[in-house]
């Protein structure tokens, strides 16, 4: 069954791969922040939509989401712009999307939020982590603490909401290797996964 899908953060590596997988059987609109990306989106048979997580109002997102089946949030500052921009995109942008979905009149689309593995309260180490997991977690938190903090805050905001259905994906470190078609789901150990 064909679905109507909106991808927020449509020009990222994960989003472009997802678009390529979805467009043969689904109607995809891809939210981009600059027209420089529109040809890349069109070449994948998706419709580019120019909106900014930082500048566009919630109402613009809500209007776009009306009548859609799925909103896929895969936007991120990518470490550019320091803590202020990371907060604006990875947290405030995510919350703007959550608020926009809640504001949709009638049926609301499901949200799929791309977060990151090991996004959690840093003081609570999961019981299933082994020594290697703890070492990887420490290296990651030391390398990208701002990113991990704001992803965690977005996740915490989302789990309090019940006006729409949602799923949080927490992929491991991302590589550009060919996919295996397999993934570890649930309580997993930290590691890499192909986009």
Q: Which residues are catalytic?
A: 147
SS3 91: helix
Distance from CA of residue 94 to its chain's centroid?
8
Q: Which helix (H) or strand (E) segment is 73 a member of?
A: strand 70-73
Task: State how far the Cα of 12 lies from the Cα of 18, in Å rounded to an integer.
Answer: 10
Task: State how far the Cα of 90 lies from the Cα of 146, in Å rounded to an integer.
Answer: 10
| DSSP single-letter state for residue 89 | I
């Amino acid at each position: 069954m064909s679905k109507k899908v909106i991808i927020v953060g449509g020009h990222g590596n994960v989003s472009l791969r997802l678009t390529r997988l979805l467009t043969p059987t689904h109607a995809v609109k891809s939210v981009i922040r600059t027209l420089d990306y529109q040809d890349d989106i069109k070449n994948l048979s998706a419709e580019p939509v120019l909106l900014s997580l930082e500048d566009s109002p919630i109402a613009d997102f809500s209007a776009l989401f009306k009548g859609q089946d799925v909103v896929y949030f895969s936007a991120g500052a990518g470490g550019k712009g320091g803590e202020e921009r990371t907060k604006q995109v990875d947290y405030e942008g995510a919350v703007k999307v959550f608020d926009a979905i809640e504001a949709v009149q009638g049926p609301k689309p499901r949200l799929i939020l791309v977060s990151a593995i090991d996004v959690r309260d840093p003081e609570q180490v999961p019981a299933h982590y082994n020594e290697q997991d703890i070492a990887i977690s420490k290296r990651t938190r030391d390398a990208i603490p701002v990113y991990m903090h704001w992803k965690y805050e977005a996740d915490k905001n989302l789990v309090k909401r019940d006006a729409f259905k949602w799923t949080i994906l927490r992929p491991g470190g991302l590589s550009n290797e060919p996919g295996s078609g397999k993934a570890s789901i649930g309580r997993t150990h930290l590691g890499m996964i192909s986009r």
